[in-house]
C-alpha cells in the first residue's frame, strides 16, 4: 500500500527521514501515527524509528536532546518542532510482566516491529509513503480486529498493560478482539495486578472515552479482569460495572471528570469509601474533588434542588453530562440547566453587600457572627427571597438584627 497524501505533520517530518537515509541508515514513521493515517484519523504524535544508534543520530543532526537515551530515543529539533527518533530495538529482559528493564538495539526493522503489541500498531511508513506491513495489519484493519503480533501470550507476558491497550483500542476504534488474543487476555489477566496504577488508568480512561466503550467494558468484565484493576476488590460488583457499560456505549464522555463520575461517582458509595476508591486509582485532586461533589447528587437525583445546584455550580457541566449519559429523564437535566442559568449569584463574592460593607455600616462585627450574616444573605438571595441589591440586603440584615419583622 502506498499513501499518496500525507498529513502535514508527516510532510513536515519527511526531511528528517531523508537526512537519516542519506547518512546511510534506515528511518521510518512507526506506531500509532501510521495506523491513524491509514484510518484517516487525526494523529497525536509522530514516532520515528531508525537503524541508526543514538550516537549516530546525534552526529547527523545539529540540534538534539537526550530525552530517553537509555531506551534509544533522541529528540531532533527541526524548525521549532521536536521529533523523537528511537533506534530499532528488541526488548531483552522482562521482570514482573512490566516493561523491560533493558533494551537491545538492532539494525533490522522487522526485529523492531515484531516486538510491538498489535498488528495495527506494527506498520512502518517510509519516506516515499510506502506502508510496510509484515504482520497483515492491513487485513486486520479491514476486518476491524485487534490481533497481537505473533503469539499473544508472549506479547502480554512482555507487558501486561497491553491487555488494557487491547481493550482501549477495541473501544476507540470500535474493533473486535481476535479470538487468540482474547484467550490470552483471559488467561493472563491476573498479571494486570502487577502494573502501575497510573499506566492502567491512562488506558482505562481512553477506553471509557472510546466510541465502543460499553462493549469493551463488557469484555473486560467477561474476561474476569475486574478483580485486577485498581480500587478495592469486590466493592464494584460486575453488575455495577455492566450498568456503566450499558450507559456508556456510543456516548464518549468529554472529560475525565465525567468518566469517573460515571464509573465511581454514581455507585452510591459513602463519602469516605468513594474517596478511598478515587485515591486507589490515583486520580488528580481536581478529578477527586469533582467526583466527591457530584457523586452524592447522582445517587439521588431528587436531591438536586436549587441550593444544591448553587453549592455545586462549579461542577454543573460534569453533573449534566454525567446525568445525560446515565439516561436520566431530560426534564431533570433541563430543570438543572434552567435553575443554574437563573442563579442570581454563583458565590458569596457576588453578593451586592460584602462583609466589609456590613462592618462599615455597623451591621455586623468582625468574627464568626459576620459569617452567619453572610450565609443568611447568601441563602436568601439564592432562594430568591431577596434581590441582590445593597438596599434590599441592608433591609434584610437590619430586620434580622433588630428583629422588626
Ligand atoms: N505497551 C506497548 C506500548 C506501545 N507499543 C508500541 O509503541 C507504539 C506507540 O505507543 P503509544 O504512543 O503508547 O500508542 P499508539 O499506538 O501510538 O496510540 P496513541 O494514538 O494513543 O498514541 C505503539 O503503536 C506500539 O507499536 C507496544 O508495542 N507496547
Ligand atoms: Mg502514540
pLDDT one-digit tens code per residue, 97-134: 666 667 899 999 999 999 999 999 999 999 999 999 99
- Read off the pTM: 0.94
- Sequence-distant (6+) residues with CB within 8 A of 306 are 339, 343, 382, 383
Mean pLDDT of 16-42: 97
User: Do 284 and 314 touch, CB atoms closer than 8 A?
Assistant: no
- Give the pLDDT score at 402: 77
Check pLDDT > 50 for residue 254.
Answer: yes
- pLDDT band, very low/low/confident/very high, at 405 (cuts 50, 70, 90): very low
Atom 6 in ligand 1: residue holding the nearest Cα: 116
Q: 206-228: per-residue pLDDT in tens?
A: 999 999 999 999 999 999 999 99
Mutate to test the pocket of ligand 1, among 39, 68, 121, 171 (most ligand atoms within 8 A of CB): 121
- pLDDT band, very low/low/confident/very high, at 403 (cuts 50, 70, 90): low
- Sequence-distant (6+) residues with CB within 8 A of 153 are 184, 187, 188
Interval between CA 44 and ligand 2 midpoint (Å): 6
**Rg (the chain; Cα; Å):** 28
Which residue numbers belong to the known binding site for ATP? 32, 35, 116, 159, 162, 165, 168
As residues whose CB is below 5 A from the ion ligand 2, the structure lists: 32, 45
Phi, psi of 65 (to 5 degrees): -130, 135
Interval between CA 47 and ligand 2 midpoint (Å): 7
- Give the pLDDT score at 158: 95
Interval between CA 297 and ligand 1 midpoint (Å): 38
Which residue numbers belong to the known binding site? 32, 35, 45, 47, 116, 159, 162, 165, 168
Prediction ipTM score: 0.99
Q: Which atom of ligand 1 is nearest to the CA of 116?
A: 28
How many angstroms separate the CA atoms of 185 and 220, rounded?
Answer: 9
Q: Which of 25, 31, 7 is nearest to 125 (CA)?
A: 31
CA distances from 99 to 117, 152, 169, 297, 322 (A): 12, 16, 19, 41, 35
Q: Which atom of ligand 1 is nearest to the CA of 206?
A: 21
| Ligand lying closest to the C-alpha of residue 146 | 1
Q: 279-331: per-residue pLDDT in tens?
A: 999 999 999 999 999 999 998 898 899 999 999 999 999 999 999 999 999 99
Other CB atoms within 10 Å distance of the CB of residue 36: 17
How many angstroms separate the CA atoms of 17 and 85, rounded?
Answer: 10
DSSP label at residue 100: -
Other CB atoms within 10 Å distance of the CB of residue 25: 18
Interval between CA 173 and ligand 1 midpoint (Å): 14
Interval between CA 263 and ligand 2 midpoint (Å): 25
Atom 28 in ligand 1: residue holding the nearest Cα: 116
Buried b (16+ CB within 10 A) or exposed e, 104-140: ebbeebeebbebbbbbbbbbbbbbebebbbebebeeb
Interval between CA 46 and ligand 2 midpoint (Å): 7
Here the cell at position 316 is 454543573
Atom 29 in ligand 1: residue holding the nearest Cα: 117
Q: What are the pocket residues of ligand 1 if the criterion is a CB atom closer than 6 Å to any ligand atom?
A: 31-32, 44-45, 47, 116-117, 121-122, 159, 161-162, 165
Which residue numbers belong to the known binding site for Mg(2+)? 45, 47
Here the cell at position 379 is 441563602
| Ligand lying closest to the C-alpha of residue 156 | 1
Interval between CA 207 and ligand 1 midpoint (Å): 14
Here the cell at position 96 is 514482573
- pLDDT band, very low/low/confident/very high, at 95 (cuts 50, 70, 90): low
What is the helix (H) or strand (E) element at residue 342, kind and residue range? helix 330-342
Check pLDDT > 80 for residue 96.
Answer: no
Look at residue 61 and give its three-state secondary structure: coil
Buried b (16+ CB within 10 A) or exposed e, 199-217: bbbebbbbbbbbbbbbbbb
- What whole-number percentage of the chain has pLDDT above 90? 92
Here the cell at position 98 is 512490566
The CA dihedral of 114, 117, 119, 120, to the nearest 10 degrees, is -130
Q: Which of 121, 99, 115 is nearest to 195 (CA)?
A: 99
Q: Which of 67, 71, 68, 101 is nearest to 89 (CA)?
A: 71
Look at residue 297 and give its three-state secondary structure: helix
- Give the pLDDT score at 99: 61
Amino acid at each position: 500500500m502506498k499513501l499518496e497524501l500525507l498529513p502535514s505533520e508527516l510532510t513536515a517530518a519527511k526531511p528528517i527521514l531523508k537526512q537519516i537515509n542519506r547518512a546511510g541508515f534506515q528511518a521510518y514513521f512507526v506506531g500509532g501515527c501510521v495506523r491513524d493515517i491509514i484510518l484517516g484519523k487525526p494523529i497525536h504524535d509522530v514516532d520515528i524509528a531508525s537503524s541508526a544508534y543514538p550516537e549516530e543520530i546525534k552526529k547527523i543532526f545539529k540540534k538534539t536532546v537526550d530525552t530517553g537515551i537509555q531506551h534509544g530515543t533522541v529528540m531532533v529539533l527541526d524548525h521549532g518542532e521536536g521529533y523523537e527518533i528511537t533506534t530499532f530495538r528488541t526488548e531483552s529482559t522482562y521482570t514482573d510482566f512490566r516493561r523491560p528493564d533493558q533494551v537491545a538495539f538492532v539494525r533490522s526493522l522487522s526485529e523492531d516491529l515484531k516486538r510491538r503489541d498489535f498488528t495495527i500498531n506494527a506498520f512502518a511508513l517510509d519516506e516515499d509513503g510506502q506502508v510496510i506491513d509484515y504482520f497483515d495489519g492491513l487485513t486486520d484493519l479491514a476486518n476491524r480486529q485487534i490481533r497481537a503480533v505473533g503469539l499473544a501470550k508472549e506479547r502480554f507476558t512482555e507487558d501486561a498493560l497491553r491487555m488494557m491497550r487491547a481493550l482501549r483500542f477495541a473501544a476507540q476504534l470500535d474493533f473486535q478482539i481476535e479470538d487468540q488474543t482474547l484467550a490470552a487476555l483471559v488467561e493472563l489477566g491476573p498479571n494486570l495486578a502487577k502494573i502501575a496504577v497510573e499506566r492502567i488508568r491512562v488506558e482505562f480512561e481512553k477506553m471509557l472515552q472510546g466510541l465502543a466503550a460499553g462493549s469493551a467494558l463488557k469484555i473486560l468484565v467477561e474476561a474476569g479482569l475486574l478483580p485486577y484493576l485498581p480500587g478495592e476488590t469486590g466493592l464494584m460488583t460486575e453488575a455495577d460495572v455492566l450498568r456503566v457499560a450499558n450507559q456508556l456505549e456510543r456516548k464518549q464522555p468529554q472529560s475525565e471528570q465525567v468518566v469517573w463520575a460515571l464509573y465511581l461517582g454514581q455507585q452510591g458509595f459513602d463519602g469516605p469509601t468513594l474517596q478511598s476508591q478515587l485515591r486507589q486509582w490515583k486520580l488528580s485532586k481536581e478529578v477527586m474533588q469533582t467526583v466527591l461533589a457530584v457523586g452524592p447528587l447522582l445517587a439521588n437525583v431528587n436531591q438536586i434542588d436549587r441550593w444544591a445546584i448553587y453549592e455545586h455550580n462549579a461542577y454543573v457541566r460534569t453533573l449534566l453530562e454525567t446525568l445525560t449519559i446515565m439516561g436520566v429523564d431530560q426534564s431533570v437535566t433541563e430543570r438543572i440547566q434552567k435553575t443554574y442559568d437563573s442563579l442570581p449569584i454563583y458565590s458569596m463574592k457576588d453578593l451586592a453587600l460584602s462583609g466589609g460593607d456590613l462592618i462599615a455600616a455597623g451591621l455586623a462585627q468582625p468574627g464568626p457572627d459576620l459569617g452567619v450574616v453572610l450565609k443568611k444573605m447568601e441563602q436568601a438571595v439564592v432562594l430568591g427571597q431577596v434581590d441582590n441589591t445593597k438596599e434590599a440586603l441592608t433591609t434584610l440584615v437590619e430586620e434580622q438584627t433588630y428583629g422588626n419583622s
